[in-house]
Amino acid sequence: MGGGRSSEELASIILEHLGFEIIETRKPIEVGGIEVAEIDLLAKDENGETYAVEVKSGRASVTDVRQAYSNAQLIGAKPMIVCHGFSGKSAEAAALSLNVRSVLLPEYYLLTLKELKGVIEDLVLTILSIFEEAVPEKLEERELKILECIAESSNMSNAIEKSGFKRGRFIRILEALRRKGVFPIRNPGYRYLRMQARLVLRRYRLRKLLERIHEES
């Protein structure tokens, strides 16, 4: 992947904002037990379609487009490329002819990635203050289980499987937690849901520990 982990992380954030679920990163592709390629991101859209995503830190060439297409073909997924535009009309034409979905990023993202991370870090304190009000006095056992599964899983599908609940029941409990204000940040990305679950669990457990200490003293 051109550009290293920073480009991959940025692409993940943007795709999640677009409604995709990141299933796996840097997925190796094996043919006959031999690794022949690596997919930068494996993502699933809201309709359940799986995309093999090639991420480029700069402009995509014809070769990059063909690589995205061939990688997707190897695993039976749809091809996608995330880049800062195409290197020329031939690359753009190749993407159209091969049905490679493209997500084009503005050039300023390249220049301000570090600044973007800095802004996110600055917002952490503000976000933490929001969670002062997000931790309910009491959580039911099943609600705690849902929070734990979300906190420990890399995506929603894994969380549901780990919980042992059917998808419908899992979603109903999740929505009940939302109504309690447990997830104050409304963002479609799973990483935001996981972050909130972890923060709420930590504060809830700390509160219960302090209450126990107070009762025993």
Q: How far apart are CA 166 and CA 169, in angstroms?
A: 5
Q: Is the pTM of this model over 0.75?
A: no
User: Residue 26 maps to which CATH number?
Assistant: 3.40.1350.10
The answer to whether residue 67 sits within a structural domain is yes
Type of residue found at 91? A
Tens place of pLDDT per residue across the chain (217 aa): 444 556 788 888 888 888 899 999 989 988 888 888 899 999 999 889 999 999 998 899 999 999 999 999 999 999 999 998 999 999 999 999 999 999 987 654 554 556 556 656 666 666 666 666 666 778 889 999 999 999 999 899 999 999 999 999 999 999 999 888 888 777 667 888 898 899 888 888 887 787 777 777 6
Residue showing tokens 């301000």:
112
The answer to whether residue 168 sits within a structural domain is yes
Q: Residue 162: which domain range? A: 131-216
CA 167 to chain centre: 19
Question: What local confidence, expressed as pLDDT, does residue 107 receive?
Answer: 55
The answer to whether residue 81 sits within a structural domain is yes
Of the candidates 117, 77, 75, the residue with the CA atom closest to the CA atom of residue 101: 77
The answer to whether residue 66 sits within a structural domain is yes
Instruction: For 171-198, write each residue's pLDDT tens digit.
Output: 999 999 988 888 877 766 788 889 889 9
Tell me how crowded residue 190 is: count the other CB atoms within 10 A of its CB.
Answer: 21
In sequence order, which residues have a C-beta less than 8 Å from that of residue 62 and are 6 or more positions away? 87, 88, 90, 91, 94
The answer to whether residue 33 sits within a structural domain is yes
Question: What local confidence, expressed as pLDDT, does residue 56 receive?
Answer: 92
Name the token pair of 90.
């031939």
Residues 106, 169, single domain; the answer is no
Residues 83, 167, single domain; the answer is no
Residues 95, 176, single domain; the answer is no
Residues 9, 90, single domain; the answer is yes
Q: Domain boundary residue among 111, 145, 161?
A: 111
Angle made by CA atoms 100, 102, 107, in degrees to the nearest 5: 150
The answer to whether residue 125 sits within a structural domain is no
Residues 90, 140, single domain; the answer is no
Q: What is the pairing mode between strands 50-55 and 78-83?
A: parallel
Name the token pair of 33.
């037990």
**Alpha carbon separation from 2 to 15, 39, 112 (Å, rounded):** 18, 12, 17
Question: What local confidence, expressed as pLDDT, does residue 1 receive?
Answer: 41
Question: What local confidence, expressed as pLDDT, does residue 55 receive?
Answer: 94
Instruction: For 201-212, write each residue's pLDDT tens digit.
Output: 888 888 778 777
The answer to whether residue 53 sits within a structural domain is yes
Residues 13, 105, single domain; the answer is yes
Structural domains of the chain, count = 2
Q: How far apart are CA 207 and CA 115, in angstroms?
A: 35
The answer to whether residue 122 sits within a structural domain is no
Name the token pair of 140.
């039911």
